[in-house]
C-alpha cells in the first residue's frame, strides 16, 4: 500500500508539482508602476513545521490476528482493461494458468474488493463480479453474515471535521470508509443475498455490480465492498471485471453468469498492473509496499490491554503521564516496538504486495479495563492518532507537527462502549478524519472515581484508503 490520496491522476501531478517546488506561487494580473500589465509571480513561503515530541512509552499491541482468511482484491487499483482481478480457482483447464492461485475456502472467510477506474475507453461501464464455485459433489450453502458495497460517486473523498458523531453512517470519506462502517454495525445490504446455495460443480455470483462513469461530472468512479461469509463446504472465489454489453435501448446490460465463466476460463489478469513491491529482504533504499491481490491470513485482532500478561487491570498512568499502543504497524513503520501487525499472504500474485500492508478491513477489538488506584478521582483521555511514520523512535518519542501534513491518513469510524457515572451503557460511533502528524483533542474523556474500575471497549474496522501506522494513547490529565 502506497501513501496516497485517491484523487484523479491530474490532481496527483498538481500535488507533486507543488510539493516539489518548496513554495507556492501566486499569479497576479494587476499591473504595477514598474511593469505595465505584466503578470507577477510572488513566492509565498510555506511555514516551517514545528516538530512536537511526545515522549511517553510506546508499546506493542497485545494479542494477534486470528486465522480467518480474507480474499483481498485491491490490485490493480486503477482498472482500464477487462480481466481477472483475483482468482483462487485451480489453474486446470484455464487459458492463463498463472492467473489462478488454487486456494479453496471453507467455514468463515471474508471478501474485500476495492477497485477504481478513470476515463475508460468510450466511457464504458465496468461491471465488477465476484463468483463462488462449488467443486464438490454435494450442495454448499454460503451464509452472507454482513455485506456492504458503495461507489465512489456515492461516498466521495471529501474533507470532514476531525471528529463527527456517526451513529447512522452519514459521515464518510470514500466508499471503503462507508462500507466497513456498515459491517461494523452488523448490516447486510438489502441487495445482498442472505444465503447462496451452490449446486455441485456449479458457480453462483455473489456480486454483479456496475461502476459507471458516463454522465458524471468527471469520468472517475470506483467500488469498495466488504462481505463476511460462512461456507458449509469448500468453495473457490474470483473477482473479475468486464465492460457492460448494451440492451436494445442502449442501456447497460449486466453480464450473465455464463459470460463471467467464459472470462474466468479464457481471460488474463486485468490491467494496467501496479508497481511491483520491494522484496522483504531489501532493507534499504526505496520501499514500495505494492497493492494486495491474494488471500491473507487474519481478519480480526482482539486485544486485552492490561498491566501484564494474565493481569485483570489496566492501571491508569500517573497524573500527567501517558502510554500509547501501536495500531496497524508495518515494515519500516513499527514506531520502535518491533511489532509488525500486517497480515501475511497465504497466496498472492508475484507482482503484488508481499503482505497485506495497512490491514485494510481488519477489525480491531480493544478492551481497556481501567483501574484508578489513587484516593482521588482521575480524568483519563483516549485518542487514536497518526504520528509521523518511523520504524525506530529517532527522538525518544512519537513525532507530531504543527501544522500537520496536508494529506488525511485516517478516515473512518470507531465505536466506543462504556458505562457512564449512572451505570448506563453508553455507545458512541465517531468518525475520524485526521492528517498525518496532527495534534488532536481527545476522542473520549472519562472520569474514574478513586479506587474504582471502568471498562472501555473500542472497536473499528481499519478503513481502506487510510495509511498506517496509528496509535491509541491513554493519558491521565
Structure confidence at residue 30 as a pLDDT band (50, 70, 90): very low
Residue 313 reports pLDDT greater than 50: yes
Residue 43 reports pLDDT greater than 80: no
Structure confidence at residue 422 as a pLDDT band (50, 70, 90): confident
Instruction: Check: CB of residue 86 under 8 Å from CB of residue 239.
Output: yes
Q: Measured in whole angstroms, how far is the alpha carbon of residue 425 from the centre of its chain?
A: 29
Residue 468's pLDDT is: 97
Residue 6 CB neighbours (<10 A): 21
Residue 423's pLDDT is: 81
Residue that wins the pLDDT comparison between 137 and 27: 137
Any bridge partners for residue 111, and if so which? 71, 227
Cα angle: 129, vertex 134, 136; to 5 degrees: 170
Q: What mean pLDDT do residues 62-77 have?
A: 98
Residue 17's pLDDT is: 35
Grid coordinates standing for 50?
Answer: 514545528
Q: Is beta strand 343-348 parallel, antiparallel or unpaired with respect to 453-461?
A: unpaired
Residue 41's pLDDT is: 55
Q: Measured in whole angstroms, how far is the alpha carbon of residue 61 from the centre of its chain?
A: 19
Query: 304: which residues sit within 8 A by CB, 6+ positions away?
Result: 62, 63, 367, 369
Structure confidence at residue 250 as a pLDDT band (50, 70, 90): confident
| 462: nearest Cα among 149, 183, 207 | 183
CA-CA distance, 345 to 352, in Å (whole number)? 10
Q: What are phi and psi of 445, to 5 degrees?
A: -125, 130
Residue 26 reports pLDDT greater than 50: no
CA-CA distance, 390 to 398, in Å (whole number)? 9
3-state secondary structure of 152: helix
CA-CA distance, 132 to 206, in Å (whole number)? 7
Q: Is beta strand 300-304 parallel, antiparallel or unpaired with respect to 363-371?
A: parallel
Residue 44's pLDDT is: 67
List the single range of 5-9, 94-98, 328-332, 378-382 with lowest mean pLDDT.
5-9
pLDDT digits (tens, 9 = 90+) for 356-381: 999 999 999 999 999 999 999 999 99
Q: Cell 491508569 maps to which residue?
A: 316
Residue 89 CB neighbours (<10 A): 23
Cα angle: 340, vertex 341, 342; to 5 degrees: 95
pLDDT digits (tens, 9 = 90+) for 153-183: 999 999 999 999 999 999 999 999 999 999 9
Any bridge partners for residue 468, and if so which? none
Residue 13 reports pLDDT greater than 50: no
CA distances (Å), 45 to each of 3, 13, 17, 298, 476, in order? 25, 20, 15, 46, 39
Structure confidence at residue 32 as a pLDDT band (50, 70, 90): very low
Q: What mean pLDDT do residues 415-426 have?
A: 89
CA-CA distance, 130 to 113, in Å (whole number)? 9
CA-CA distance, 268 to 447, in Å (whole number)? 59
CA-CA distance, 410 to 437, in Å (whole number)? 11
Residue 42's pLDDT is: 58
Instruction: Check: CB of residue 14 under 8 Å from CB of residue 5.
Output: no
CA-CA distance, 316 to 331, in Å (whole number)? 30
CA-CA distance, 354 to 364, in Å (whole number)? 22
- DSSP output for 348-360: E-TTS-SEETT-T
Q: Cell 454460503 maps to which residue?
A: 142
Residue 185 reports pLDDT greater than 80: yes
- CA pseudo-torsion sign 62, 64, 66, 69: positive
Q: What are phi and psi of 457, to 5 degrees?
A: -115, 125
Q: Is beta strand 64-65 parallel, antiparallel or unpaired with respect to 300-304?
A: antiparallel
| 359: nearest Cα among 256, 285, 474, 462 | 462
Q: How many CA atoms lie less than 13 Å away from 441 in the CB half-sphere?
A: 6
Instruction: Check: CB of residue 385 under 8 Å from CB of residue 440.
Output: yes
Structure confidence at residue 104 as a pLDDT band (50, 70, 90): very high
CA distances (Å), 215 to each of 4, 344, 400, in order? 27, 41, 42
To the nearest 10°, the Cα dihedral for 235, 240, 245, 251? Answer: 90
CA-CA distance, 419 to 452, in Å (whole number)? 13
Query: 292: which residues sit within 8 A by CB, 6+ positions away?
Result: 1, 72, 74, 75, 345, 348, 352, 353, 356, 357, 360
Residue that wins the pLDDT comparison between 7 and 332: 332
Residue 34's pLDDT is: 39
pLDDT digits (tens, 9 = 90+) for 188-201: 999 999 999 999 99
Residue 400's pLDDT is: 98
**What is the pLDDT of the chain when averaged over all its residues?**
91
Query: 84: which residues sit within 8 A by CB, 6+ positions away?
Result: 96, 99, 100, 238, 239, 240, 263, 264, 267, 268, 269, 270
Residue 91 reports pLDDT greater than 70: yes
Grid coordinates standing for 47?
Answer: 511555514
State the Rg of the chain over Cα.
24
Amino acid at each position: 500500500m502506497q501513501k496516497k490520496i485517491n484523487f484523479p491522476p491530474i490532481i496527483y501531478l498538481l500535488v507533486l508539482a507543488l510539493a516539489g517546488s518548496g513554495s507556492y506561487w501566486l499569479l497576479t494580473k494587476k499591473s504595477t508602476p514598474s511593469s505595465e500589465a505584466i503578470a507577477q509571480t510572488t513566492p509565498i513561503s510555506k511555514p516551517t513545521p514545528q516538530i512536537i515530541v511526545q515522549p511517553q512509552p510506546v508499546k506493542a499491541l497485545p494479542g494477534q490476528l486470528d486465522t480467518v482468511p480474507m480474499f483481498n482484491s485491491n490490485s490493480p487499483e486503477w482498472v482500464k482493461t477487462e480481466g481477472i482481478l483475483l482468482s483462487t480457482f485451480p489453474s486446470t483447464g484455464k487459458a492463463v494458468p498463472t492467473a489462478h492461485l488454487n486456494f479453496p475456502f471453507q467455514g468463515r472467510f471474508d471478501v474485500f474488493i476495492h477497485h477504481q477506474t478513470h476515463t475508460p475507453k468510450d466511457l464504458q461501464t465496468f461491471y465488477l463480479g465476484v463468483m463462488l464455485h462449488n467443486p464438490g459433489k454435494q450442495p454448499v450453502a454460503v451464509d452472507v453474515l454482513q455485506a456492504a458495497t458503495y461507489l465512489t460517486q456515492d461516498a466521495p473523498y471529501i474533507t470532514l471535521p476531525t471528529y463527527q458523531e456517526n451513529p447512522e453512517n452519514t459521515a464518510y470519506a470514500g466508499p471503503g470508509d462507508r462500507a466497513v462502517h456498515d459491517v461494523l454495525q452488523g448490516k447486510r445490504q438489502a441487495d445482498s443475498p442472505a444465503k447462496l446455495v451452490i449446486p455441485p460443480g456449479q458457480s453462483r455470483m455473489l456480486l454483479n455490480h456496475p461502476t459507471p462513469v458516463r454522465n458524471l461530472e468527471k469520468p472517475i468512479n470506483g467500488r469498495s465492498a466488504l462481505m463476511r461469509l460462512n461456507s458449509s463446504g469448500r468453495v473457490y472465489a474470483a473477482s473479475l471485471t468486464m465492460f457492460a454489453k448494451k440492451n436494445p435501448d442502449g442501456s447497460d446490460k449486466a453480464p450473465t453468469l455464463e459470460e463471467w465463466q467464459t472470462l474466468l476460463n479464457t481471460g488474463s489478469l486485468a490491467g494496467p498492473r501496479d508497481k511491483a513491491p520491494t522484496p522483504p529482504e531489501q532493507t534499504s533504499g526505496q520501499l514500495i509496499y505494492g497493492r494486495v491481490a491474494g488471500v491473507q491470513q487474519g481478519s480480526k485482532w482482539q486485544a486485552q490491554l492490561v498491566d501484564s500478561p494474565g493481569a485483570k487491570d489496566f492501571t491508569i498512568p500517573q497524573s500527567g503521564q501517558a502510554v500509547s499502543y501501536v495500531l496497524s504497524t508495518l515494515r519500516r513503520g513499527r514506531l520502535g516496538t518491533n511489532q509488525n501487525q500486517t497480515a501475511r499472504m497465504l497466496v498472492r500474485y508475484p507482482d503484488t504486495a508481499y503482505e497485506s500492508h495497512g490491514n485494510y478491513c481488519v477489525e480491531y477489538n480493544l478492551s481497556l479495563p481501567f483501574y484508578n488506584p489513587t484516593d482521588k478521582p482521575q480524568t483519563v483521555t483516549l485518542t487514536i492518532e497518526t504520528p509521523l511514520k518511523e520504524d525506530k523512535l529517532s527522538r525518544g518519542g512519537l513525532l507530531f507537527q504543527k501544522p500537520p501534513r496536508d494529506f488525511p491518513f485516517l478516515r473512518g469510524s470507531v465505536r466506543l462502549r462504556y458505562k457512564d457515572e449512572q451505570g448506563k451503557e453508553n455507545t458512541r460511533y465517531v468518525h475520524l478524519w485526521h492528517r498525518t502528524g496532527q495534534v488532536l483533542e481527545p476522542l473520549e474523556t472519562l472520569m474514574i472515581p478513586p479506587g474504582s474500575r471502568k471498562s472501555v471497549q473500542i472497536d473499528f474496522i481499519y478503513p481502506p484508503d487510510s495509511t498506517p501506522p496509528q496509535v491509541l494513547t491513554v493519558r491521565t490529565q
